[in-house]
Amino acid sequence: MDKIVTGDEGDSREIHETDEKTLEIPSDFIRDAIRDDLAQGRFDRVHTRFPPEPNAYLHIGHAKAVWIDYGIARDFGGKFNLRFDDTNPTKEDQEFVDAIIEDVKWLGADWEDRLLFGSDYFDQMYDWAVELIKKGKSYVCDLSAEELSKTRGTLTSPGIDSPYRNRSVEENLDLFARMKAGEFPDGARTLRAKIDMASPNIVMRDPFMYRIRHTEHHRQGAKWCIYPSYDWAHGLEDSIEGVTHSLCSLEYEIHRPLYDWFLEQLGVYHPRQIEFPRLKLPYTVMSKRKFIELVDGGFVEGYDDPRMPTLAGLRRRGYTAESIARFCRRIGISKADSVIEWHVLEDCVREELNASAQRVMAVMNPIKVVLTNYPEDQVEYVDAINNPEDPSAGTRKVPFSRELYLEQDDFREVPPPKFFRLTPGREVRLRYGYFIKCEEVVKDENGEIVELRCTYDPATRGGDSPDGRKVKATLHWVSAKHAIPVEVRLYDRLFVKEDPDDAEEGQDYLSNLNPESVQVTTAHIEPSVTGAQPGARYQFERQGYFCVDKTSSEGNLVFNRTVSLKDSWAKIAKA
């Protein structure tokens, strides 16, 4: 039986037996390809990497990539590296390195001791470039960026050779060394691979390997003034690290021939690149440039604005790492470049929070209710279940008194059909409290309802009627004098169009911003949440899941709505 071993320093510990264990690994086209590679002996272990460029915050699309890279390594008992692809100093920053590390850690991917940086291999890459020059496979080109793009040809016509293409090896070596030494200004020269200017694949038309950039690198400082291109660097980084499967998104597909070409010319260890489609979600944007514009333009509060699809934003919104992992598992990996609806992610977080979130009662739009037959100064503490899905979560005491707040939506003076909540003359249950009956509607001079006068049935304490009487609705409530006012932020989609780029003539995606993407309101909440710390998650009964925002403080609690509960009444009411 074939044994698959792992470890790149000869610690060939046995992890799987192909015929049996790998069959238990979920199937998708990438895992299948890897399984096949192992079975055919093309590789004898699995080693992946997640290679972000530290120039932006990670978003939900990266979470999919992380879960493919890390998930596959884990499934096959292999290794996973977190590697920063920091080859372009002009856009990169330590701030992003730190944020990305936090995000990947939060997601739950484990890179063990392999936190790596592509820039740490610059010396090796340089030596390899010299080697390619010596082999006549690379040359220094003096064409400007503009000239280069002109001579590259078009989608329909071949490019033309650079006049510098046939420089001697000696001259190339000399020029390249001087490029490195800093003798030339930015953009004056490039090092290019000598491949084929007539290739139908434009990526193969003598792509550049190094450009001159007199810019300090966030990690390497001023050591370098020439920086490698993605195409040149990426395969080398994978090779150096002993990566077996270099998994990347579909836009790199046409780069694969170049990835392979460099490694073949060098004759070094050669990983396999496999591409998968990026995650797409409607009503949002996922590009670094647009994130920056949204933040700098003040359209959102920051990279961690709860409306943003960034991991920082989703985290602040209340999404858990587990719900995101669940989401990634559910959508799987296929070759189709598909758009996944938000409700898939929302279901995932509801599923998890339904099982784990502490229940609490909060009234968003209060209507005052006075229990006319309830003693003036009496206060009772009723037992409320913390989580009906989890008995071990126990119970808590909630104060009940003569004056209460109910949800405005839970009362209709003239009820529409199928409305089972409070209405004049009808009896309903107050959750964990009593049955109450609406006797009178008090209005001000403008005809606006100011309060409801109800009676309660003392025999129904706790919510049960000894005579077996039934009510159709159970409403949440708070005691008016015990309730704490808190700030609540209700979020909606950031853009009004599925594809924000689908804008009117002369307009861009910013014109599609949803003006109602956030609604700030005050809720009256039961006192048990006093002292809730940022990040704490609750279900506001009958409403949704909320978490305490980072701006929250002891005296001024702030909640973000992660997601509402499913609400089919909203649809019935609309119809």
Query: Is residue 143 at the binding interface for RNA, with CB under 7 A as the rule?
Result: yes
Q: Is 211 marked active-site?
A: no
* Active-site position among 74, 288, 397, 461: 288
* Residue of 94, 166, 201, 551 interacting with RNA (CB under 7 A): 201
Query: Is residue 23 at the binding interface for RNA, with CB under 7 A as the rule?
Result: yes
Least Å from the CB of residue 241 to RNA = 15
Work out the end-to-end distance of the chain between its first and last CA atoms, rounded to an integer number of angstroms.
63
**Residue 155 and residue 200: Cα distance in Å, rounded?**
8
CB of 548 within 8 A of CB of 535? yes
Q: CA nearest 482: which of 419, 516, 444, 528?
A: 528
Q: How far out from the chain centre does Cα 282 lie?
A: 14
CA distances from 399 to 378, 387, 396, 480, 521 (A): 10, 18, 10, 10, 23
For the beta carbon of residue 184, count every other beta carbon within 10 angstroms.
Answer: 18
Segment near RNA (CB under 7 A); pick from 80-88, 125-133, 486-494, 520-528: 80-88
Q: Is 165 marked active-site?
A: no
Least Å from the CB of residue 419 to RNA = 4
Nearer to RNA, 80 or 230 (CB): 230
Footprint (CB under 7 A) of RNA, residues 487-506: none
**Residue 326 and residue 319: Cα distance in Å, rounded?**
11
Exposure string over 186-200, b if 16+ CB within 10 A, otherwise e = eeebbbbbbbebebe
Q: CA nearest 125: which of 207, 43, 180?
A: 180
* Residue of 182, 187, 485, 535 interacting with RNA (CB under 7 A): 187
Query: Is residue 419 at the binding interface for RNA, with CB under 7 A as the rule?
Result: yes
Size of the site for RNA (CB under 7 A): 87
* Residue of 81, 119, 172, 190 interacting with RNA (CB under 7 A): 190
Least Å from the CB of residue 98 to RNA = 18
Query: Is residue 347 at the binding interface for RNA, with CB under 7 A as the rule?
Result: yes
- State the binding string over 113-142 for RNA (x if CB under 7 A, else -): ------------------------------
* Residue of 6, 81, 87, 138 interacting with RNA (CB under 7 A): 87
Q: How far out from the chain centre does Cα 384 lie?
A: 35
Query: Is residue 392 at the binding interface for RNA, with CB under 7 A as the rule?
Result: no
* Residue of 203, 268, 286, 441 interacting with RNA (CB under 7 A): 203
**Residue 143 and residue 149: Cα distance in Å, rounded?**
9
Footprint (CB under 7 A) of RNA, residues 250-309: 250-255
Task: Give me the sign of the Cα torsion angle 236, 240, 241, 246.
Answer: positive
Least Å from the CB of residue 354 to RNA = 5
Query: Is residue 473 at the binding interface for RNA, with CB under 7 A as the rule?
Result: yes
Least Å from the CB of residue 357 to RNA = 8
**Residue 71 and residue 107: Cα distance in Å, rounded?**
11
Segment near RNA (CB under 7 A); pick from 121-129, 208-216, 365-373, 522-530: 208-216
**Residue 251 and residue 261: Cα distance in Å, rounded?**
18
Helices 60-75, 94-107: inter-axial angle, 10-degree rounding: 60
CB of 400 within 8 A of CB of 433? yes
* Active-site position among 21, 53, 351, 403: 53
Least Å from the CB of residue 572 to RNA = 5
* Residue of 1, 155, 414, 520 interacting with RNA (CB under 7 A): 155
Instruction: Give CB contacts under 8 A, 24+ apart, made by 15-18.
Output: 15/45, 15/76, 15/77, 15/78, 16/76, 16/77
Footprint (CB under 7 A) of RNA, residues 537-556: 539, 541-542
Query: Is residue 16 at the binding interface for RNA, with CB under 7 A as the rule?
Result: no
DSSP string, 335-356: SS--BPPHHHHHHHHHHHHHHH
* Residue of 340, 441, 449, 484 interacting with RNA (CB under 7 A): 340
Nearer to RNA, 338 or 551 (CB): 338
> What torsion, rounded to 10 degrees, do the Cα atoms 14, 15, 17, 18 define?
-120
Least Å from the CB of residue 108 to RNA = 22
Query: Is residue 396 at the binding interface for RNA, with CB under 7 A as the rule?
Result: no
Least Å from the CB of residue 551 to RNA = 27
Nearer to RNA, 203 or 534 (CB): 203
Footprint (CB under 7 A) of RNA, residues 48-77: 51, 53
**Residue 371 and residue 428: Cα distance in Å, rounded?**
13
Nearer to RNA, 305 or 526 (CB): 526
- State the binding string over 209-238 for RNA (x if CB under 7 A, else -): --xx--------------xxxxx--x----
* Active-site position among 91, 114, 278, 461: 278
Question: How do beta strands 190-193 and 138-141 pair?
Answer: antiparallel
- State the binding string over 450-469 for RNA (x if CB under 7 A, else -): ------------xxx-----
Segment near RNA (CB under 7 A); pick from 147-155, 299-307, 310-318, 367-375: 147-155
Task: Give me the sign of the Cα torsion angle 418, 563, 279, 109.
Answer: negative
CB of 300 within 8 A of CB of 307? yes
Q: Is 307 marked active-site?
A: no
Hey, which residues are catalytic here? 53, 278, 288
